[in-house]
Amino acid sequence: MRHLLLITALLFSFSLTAKEHPCLLLTPKGVKEIKTSLGKLPYFDQSYQTIKDEADKAMGVKMDIPTPVDGGGGYTHEQHKRNYISMFNAGAVYQVSGDAKYAKYVRDMLMEYAKVYSTWGEHPAKKNNPSGKIFWQTLNDFVWLVHVSHAYDCAYNGISAADRKEIEDKLFRPMVEFIMYGNDGANERTFNMIQNHGTWATAAVGMIGYVMDDKDLTDKALLGTKKDGQAGFLRQVDEMFSPDGYYAEGPYYLRYAIWPFTLFAQVIDNNQPEQKIFQRRDGILLKAVDAEMQMMYNGEVLYLNDALKKTILTQELVWAVDIAYAANQKNTNLLNIAGRQERVMICDAGITTAKALKNHKMQPFESVSHLFRDGANGDQGAVSILRYGKEPKQTALVMKATTHGGSHGHYDKLSFSFYDNGNTILQDYGAVRFLNIEPKYGGHYTKENNSWGKQSISHNTLTVDETSHFNAVTKTADQFWSEQLLYDVTPDVQVTAAKDMNAYPNVQMQRTMALVTHASAEQPFVIDIFRAKSEQAHTYDFPFYYMGHMVSVDFEYTPFTTEQRALGNSNGYQHLWLEAQGTTTKPTACFTLVNADRFYSITTLANDKSEFMFTRLGAGDPNFMLRHDAGFMLRQKEASNHTFVTVVEPHGDYNLNNEYTLGYASNIDQLKLEVDNDTYSAVTVKMKNGNTYLLLVCNNNTDKNAAHSLDVNGKKYDWTGAYKLIVTTPQIP
Amino acid sequence: MRHLLLITALLFSFSLTAKEHPCLLLTPKGVKEIKTSLGKLPYFDQSYQTIKDEADKAMGVKMDIPTPVDGGGGYTHEQHKRNYISMFNAGAVYQVSGDAKYAKYVRDMLMEYAKVYSTWGEHPAKKNNPSGKIFWQTLNDFVWLVHVSHAYDCAYNGISAADRKEIEDKLFRPMVEFIMYGNDGANERTFNMIQNHGTWATAAVGMIGYVMDDKDLTDKALLGTKKDGQAGFLRQVDEMFSPDGYYAEGPYYLRYAIWPFTLFAQVIDNNQPEQKIFQRRDGILLKAVDAEMQMMYNGEVLYLNDALKKTILTQELVWAVDIAYAANQKNTNLLNIAGRQERVMICDAGITTAKALKNHKMQPFESVSHLFRDGANGDQGAVSILRYGKEPKQTALVMKATTHGGSHGHYDKLSFSFYDNGNTILQDYGAVRFLNIEPKYGGHYTKENNSWGKQSISHNTLTVDETSHFNAVTKTADQFWSEQLLYDVTPDVQVTAAKDMNAYPNVQMQRTMALVTHASAEQPFVIDIFRAKSEQAHTYDFPFYYMGHMVSVDFEYTPFTTEQRALGNSNGYQHLWLEAQGTTTKPTACFTLVNADRFYSITTLANDKSEFMFTRLGAGDPNFMLRHDAGFMLRQKEASNHTFVTVVEPHGDYNLNNEYTLGYASNIDQLKLEVDNDTYSAVTVKMKNGNTYLLLVCNNNTDKNAAHSLDVNGKKYDWTGAYKLIVTTPQIP
């Protein structure tokens, strides 16, 4: 019903007057604003100068529209990329400068493309994905058309009607025909997919549709080739994000997906404002931009699932920030990002952002504690982020209990990572890939991404019997998700809890993590309760991949100093060198490291079945694809029902400028699991200064209003809600 | 004769009027300036607030002057450190605020020290060095008195004459007596040493001497206990630096040494301006400060000899920069450093610097190519630095061919390191030490500093037969130095050359390094010609310790993927894991890596006796003292006379923000050693674009005016001077 109304609105909404140009990302109003602001807004001026320089440079060399031959990274591939970027830049410069030579450049190149496009057949370097005409896969053709639509729109008024007809007839119309219906129907399936590639396809067709004022094309872009709303951009908006703006593949791919979403949304808003696209689904697109910004640590995207180093400085996030800010100018927090990006896009949203930046007092970006639910309805697990303090020194704990995320998903149920003082302390490795570096497996995901990056053992979570979650089978993993049980943020403590019943057929896992921020603590610290339940005995591996240098441990170990071996031969274990191993007779084991000017201790419960391993990544890596990162791992042998209790604790001050060191040793005097059953867990952390933190957790009822009562060491505690932190500080006598 | 004149001038220079206070680092004039500037100079205000906060915090806790018991890092050690810092801060705050409570705090604490000082005997934690009274070694006592002299000077007018007499009689006079004559003459030897400890001792005695207006003490401080100028601060100034301001232990220790030098020089200048201490020896102290600033890469001290991470932000360099700038205000380049330090010292020099900063337009610090000769006369080798471009993206090549540097020296003759694009690319490991981290071998230099850090194999230079230079015997190494042969900087190429005849009894080494900055090169690149001469066959190991990730090599290798062994069992080899090894049938081998957004290739000549090894640090390290850094090593077997020729070449652009990659492969088409004998070497580097760089070097005559003629491949080249670079670019047809 909702769809039907929208369709009706859509079909009657087109204006009958002649289309003004530009009309996509730049409009006559925006161009006017840019012209009057030029020379007054440093970021805008600089950004404009950059694209102008690039356009001038491109126009200084001989035009080259090669017959498509090469795959990604090869010559013809890169040349067609250069071509669309050059036209894209030249188009914008034409609008701002009014200099006809830039329009002519776009026109000339498009006329050349128009001459040859129809002569190109299936791409010879076609791989698994459907073949494009210009590139080896259709995705790149979509991206080409998104950029070129903008270029054509900008140059439109500088190209004669006859030339435009030639270009549209010989290039754009055959191209949209191919994009929507080519490859024997495969392209239509892609176009109508509720997926990333579909978004690029609909954006491409929609954008050239608006430029050519072709309602049939824009309707198909918005509603699918059948125009019934079962496919198309609007449905993608409705289904591809969780209600919190989360994207199942994780923030690394959200960053990429958000590009066509924000671009095309802006285009729709300029051409069909009545769509209220930015308000759609409670403003989901703007939420997604915010979600992306929040799923970072100090401007770097969190390494969840397949992820490489990406920051707020990437071009797609410059687009996203400019457009999202322009769409909701109350969101001044985005200006803090825009200021750090130090560039804007040459479009209406870019000039709006640049103007706002001029009078904006830069603040650190406010990244806050947030629960990002997964699934279109928000009921398929979540990523929880607990934060304390402000960037760049903020403390952040990230726990992942989501859906799998398809081919980019990792087998990392209930894994976590920890950041503090501006640094990654306990890492998620991310993906094993050297994007765009041809000698590193063609720049693709490496084999080691499967054999290490995705495996459970590469994450800070539980691996059972040296086997990954779901046996590392995507098809299985995609059918399940973890259940987010609890998420609560208070001034003294922030708590998240989730469980997973499916990753291992015979082992149930539940993890409760608390970031204790109570004023009595030297620094915020983490209490981690990980419950594994099983009826059989297993080997439980529980690693911590740390960044920094080992300082000390409180147990004996045997180092392997002249010869070392890989820890295993499959499921990721073949990539770990075993550097040392030890045991303890104490009830806890403590591992301390230093990173920058702070110390960190991992204190964990131990018994006579606990073994401690020092691992180093890099075994089984003939092509040197892996970083040689270090790990501290607790191996619990012959375990069935076992609860791991760990405190991760920043402490001390390692001051190299004034040469002093404070607090290099853990503050913890005692860590105890006082109660542990299916209903309750109770953990005591006693510090050396006498402060005691008792965390009471209800394991099977997260009702905020439920009343609980528990006896701990002969003392009775009553509370309401799923958990309670009780802090006791010694009385000064 | 020079000394005699100075002594005469000194003996008659004291004024007869009553001494004004403060007179050391603050003066009444400076205090007045500070008071009128307060609230107007952000860096000064902030710096003052910091010490005021620290003073207030210290004054809020119970005074504690414990009987000395503990060694470095222990409680009484740290408490006496805290005490002098608290007095130091309180003294300055008294002068600026005029609040009597700060003077009283200094007075009270000094009265407490006066009560107990004479009761303290030899320090129970005494180690190898002479025992202090307050600390385990006298050095710390000197540092204590330097700080406390300043505190006392500042508080002087706020303490009654009777109390002052008590403090001077019971504390300061016994202390200077001990510093000059204690420990059965050992302290007098230290005091009169031309060495770092002597500088702290003379500064301490001199400073308290000026405060107490005691000419005998200040004369002894300046001229030695015999007042004959054979010892004392002035002679230290005359002999402890090379004419270029170099300090034999290297820039890491220069940073520390410069602290008492600049402090005490400032004190002398305030009290005996006729000494013209800052002009002495052609302004050597200011040169030393400049030298320190120049021996950095992006504000981080070069890792020559024993060295840890130290930056311009250390307190000692804040002192040095403030004082050096105030002493020569034409040196505005220092203001670029001061601005980056973001703090100043609360003294006359600090307010001068802060005022200058207010109107200073910050520029990147200009670090320039520079030769730093070693030895008091500048004739004992050198460190040469070749730089191109500006910080922070500057390219820098550092070659070390100096004296050994005593107990902090490394066996690293003719070693080099390379920096580019803001990053360390080929590193010098520096020292293996976790300063002030007690669990890491008490914070001392670790055993691994001897077994790895100092060894030849840990450096980018030649190791013969798996044995370090001078067999790693300091006593031997200290007798010799390398000879700097050539240093020349031109717009197109910068060249340095040195030889070493002593590191190995039977192998002579000569290295010529050229940084080619000719406009035709994509990026500046390094040509390295390392000639080893011997009459016997040896195994030559020639490593490159790189930072970054391996991208590709152009030869076959065998990786050790399931098991790996240490490369050797002594001289540093026991610390290297052998990860892979290979050979080549080509005339060169190329190793490419990526670091940040740039690629780097190491292309080196090869033959059938060349073996290539991939090493990883971390073997033989039971206590986890080492970083796990990577190396690429050329092992040349059965070699006697052998010339290593290598090009280190930055190239390409790895752009993650806009997702494109350019030039991931080396530009080098051919590398050839065309001529190589005792008189001449000629190397051709031919790039894939046809550019050819022919480097002609005369190996045995560095006369700038000598005429040379050489036949290379049938073509005759005539030139003047020790080298010639001939660049040929292909004609455009």
Minimal CA–CA distance to B695: which of B704, B679, B687, B684? B684
Residue B692 vs residues A201, B458, B606, B685, B732: alpha-carbon distances, Å: 48, 33, 20, 6, 15
Return the DSSP state at B119.
G
Do the Cβ atoms of B628 and A616 come within 8 Å? Answer: yes
- What is the per-residue pLDDT for B11? 47
Give the number of other Cβ atoms within 10 Å of residue B549's Cβ. 17
For A293-319, what is each residue's pLDDT tens digit?
999 999 999 999 999 999 999 999 999
Do the Cβ atoms of B630 and A628 come within 8 Å? Answer: yes
Query: CA A726 to CA A492: how far, in whole Å?
Result: 10
Query: CA B517 to CA B527: how far, in whole Å?
Result: 11
Contacts of B311 in chain A (CB under 8 A): 657
* Two structure tokens written together for A638: 């012959």
Query: CA A383 to CA A244: how far, in whole Å?
Result: 10
- What is the per-residue pLDDT for B72? 81
Q: Strand, coil or helix: what is A75?
A: helix
Distance, first Cα to last Cα, chain B: 71
* Two structure tokens written together for A584: 């303890």
If you search the block for the tokens 């033989």, which residue do you land on? Answer: B620
For B99-136, what is each residue's pLDDT tens digit?
999 999 999 999 999 999 999 999 998 877 889 999 99
At A446, is the pLDDT very low, low, confident or very high (cuts 50, 70, 90)? Answer: very high
Arithmetic mean of pLDDT, A531-548: 98
Query: CA B385 to CA A207: how far, in whole Å?
Result: 56
Is residue A282 left, alpha or beta, with left meaning phi > 0 and alpha meaning psi from -120 to 50?
left
For A204-247, what is each residue's pLDDT tens digit?
999 999 999 999 999 999 999 999 999 999 999 999 999 999 99
Query: CA B710 to CA B675: how far, in whole Å?
Result: 9
Minimal CA–CA distance to B463: which of B417, B557, B530? B530
Question: Active-site residue among A156, A247, A253, A411?
Answer: A253
| pLDDT > 90 in chain A, percent | 93
Question: DSSP labels for A427-480?
Answer: ------B-TT-TTTGGGSB-HHIIIIITSGGGSSS-EETTB-GGGG-HHHHTT-
Query: CA B173 to CA B181: how far, in whole Å?
Result: 12
Do the Cβ atoms of B659 and A314 come within 8 Å? Answer: yes
Average model confidence (pLDDT) for chain B?
95
Minimal CA–CA distance to B569: which of A116, A530, A563? A563
Q: Which residues, 6+ apart, have CB-to-CB distance to A294 below 8 Å?
A: A367, A368, A370, A372, A385
Query: CA B308 to CA B434: how far, in whole Å?
Result: 8
- What is the per-residue pLDDT for B237? 97
Do the Cβ atoms of A619 and B562 come within 8 Å? Answer: yes
Does residue B403 carry a pLDDT above 90? Answer: yes
| CB-closest option in B561, B664, B665 to A620 | B561
At B3, is the pLDDT very low, low, confident or very high (cuts 50, 70, 90)? Answer: low
Arithmetic mean of pLDDT, A99-116: 98
Contacts of B596 in chain A (CB under 8 A): none
Arithmetic mean of pLDDT, B159-177: 98
Arithmetic mean of pLDDT, B557-583: 98
Residue A282 vs residues A274, A279, A374, B515: alpha-carbon distances, Å: 15, 6, 17, 60
Query: CA B441 to CA A613: how far, in whole Å?
Result: 22
At A95, is the pLDDT very low, low, confident or very high (cuts 50, 70, 90)? Answer: very high
What is the number of CB-based contacts under 8 A between chain A and chain B? 141
Query: CA B655 to CA B671: how far, in whole Å?
Result: 28
Contacts of B440 in chain A (CB under 8 A): 551-552
Helix (H) / strand (E) element for B540: namely strand B538-546
At B13, is the pLDDT very low, low, confident or very high (cuts 50, 70, 90)? Answer: very low
Among this protein's residues, is B253 annotated catalytic? Answer: yes
Do the Cβ atoms of B437 and A654 come within 8 Å? Answer: yes
Arithmetic mean of pLDDT, B567-585: 98
- What is the per-residue pLDDT for B50? 97
**Interior CA angle at A210 toward A206 and A213, to 5°?**
130
Query: CA B10 to CA B74: how far, in whole Å?
Result: 42
Question: Active-site residue among B253, B411, B540, B546?
Answer: B253
**Min Cα separation B76/chain A (Å):** 14
Mutate to test the interface with B, among A547, A624, A632 (most CBs of B within 10 A): A624
Give the number of other Cβ atoms within 10 Å of residue A616's Cβ. 21
Return the DSSP state at B311.
B
Does residue A249 carry a pLDDT above 90? Answer: yes
Helix (H) / strand (E) element for B529: namely strand B525-534
Does residue B560 carry a pLDDT above 70? Answer: yes
Contacts of B561 in chain A (CB under 8 A): 566, 574, 619-622
At B539, is the pLDDT very low, low, confident or very high (cuts 50, 70, 90)? Answer: very high
- What is the per-residue pLDDT for B732? 62
Arithmetic mean of pLDDT, B710-729: 97
Does residue A203 carry a pLDDT above 90? Answer: yes
Q: Strand, coil or helix: what is A613?
A: strand
Query: CA B611 to CA B541: how far, in whole Å?
Result: 9
If you search the block for the tokens 């307010």, which residue do you land on? Answer: B351
Q: For chain B, positions 118-137, list CB contacts with chain A under 8 A.
A: none
Q: For chain A, positions 657-686, list CB contacts with chain B under 8 A.
A: 657-661, 664-665
Chain A: residue nearest B595 by CA? A434
Minimal CA–CA distance to A564: which of A609, A612, A613? A613
Arithmetic mean of pLDDT, A490-498: 98
Distance of CA A685 to the CA centre of its chain: 34
Query: CA A462 to CA A457: how far, in whole Å?
Result: 8
Q: Strand, coil or helix: what is B319?
A: helix
At A3, is the pLDDT very low, low, confident or very high (cuts 50, 70, 90)? Answer: low
- What is the per-residue pLDDT for B128? 76
Residue B521 near residue B532, CB atoms below 8 Å: no
Determine the residue type at B639. Answer: A
Does residue B147 carry a pLDDT above 90? Answer: yes
Distance, first Cα to last Cα, chain A: 71
| CB-closest option in B311, B563, B594 to A437 | B594
Arithmetic mean of pLDDT, A130-141: 94
| CB-closest option in B435, B619, B664 to A438 | B664
Do the Cβ atoms of B622 and A73 come within 8 Å? Answer: no
- What is the per-residue pLDDT for A11? 47
- What is the per-residue pLDDT for A7? 52
Average model confidence (pLDDT) for chain A?
95
Return the DSSP state at B730.
P
Arithmetic mean of pLDDT, A131-141: 95
CB-based burial label for A108 (10 Å; 0-12, 13-18, 19+): middle
- What is the per-residue pLDDT for B590? 98
As beta bridge partners, residue A416 has A399
Does residue A76 carry a pLDDT above 60? Answer: yes
Arithmetic mean of pLDDT, B29-48: 97
Give the number of other Cβ atoms within 10 Å of residue A673's Cβ. 15
Arithmetic mean of pLDDT, B286-293: 98
- What is the per-residue pLDDT for B90? 98
- What is the per-residue pLDDT for A129? 81
Among this protein's residues, is A147 annotated catalytic? Answer: no
Residue B598 near residue B656, CB atoms below 8 Å: no
CB-based burial label for A441 (10 Å; 0-12, 13-18, 19+): middle
If you search the block for the tokens 């003939």, which residue do you land on? Answer: A622
Q: Which residues, 6+ apart, have CB-to-CB distance to B730 below 8 Å?
A: B689, B690, B691
Does residue A380 carry a pLDDT above 60? Answer: yes
At A12, is the pLDDT very low, low, confident or very high (cuts 50, 70, 90)? Answer: very low
Q: Does B732 touch chain A (CB under 8 A)?
A: no
- What is the per-residue pLDDT for B126? 84
SS3 of B590-608: EEEEEECCEEEEEEEECCC
Arithmetic mean of pLDDT, A257-281: 98
Q: Which residues, 6+ apart, have CB-to-CB distance to A603 below 8 Å?
A: A588, A589, A590, A591, A646, A647, A649, A666, A668, A671
As beta bridge partners, residue B515 has B494, B526
pTM for the model: 0.95
* Two structure tokens written together for B462: 């030649």
For B214-246, what is each residue's pLDDT tens digit?
999 999 999 999 999 999 999 999 999 999 999
* Two structure tokens written together for A373: 């639910």
Arithmetic mean of pLDDT, B430-454: 95
Q: Using only the alpha carbons of chain A, give its radius of gyration.
A: 28
Do the Cβ atoms of A574 and B564 come within 8 Å? Answer: no
Does residue A1 carry a pLDDT above 70? Answer: no
* Two structure tokens written together for B257: 């040494």
Chain A: residue nearest B312 by CA? A657
Minimal CA–CA distance to B187: which of B172, B171, B198, B203? B198
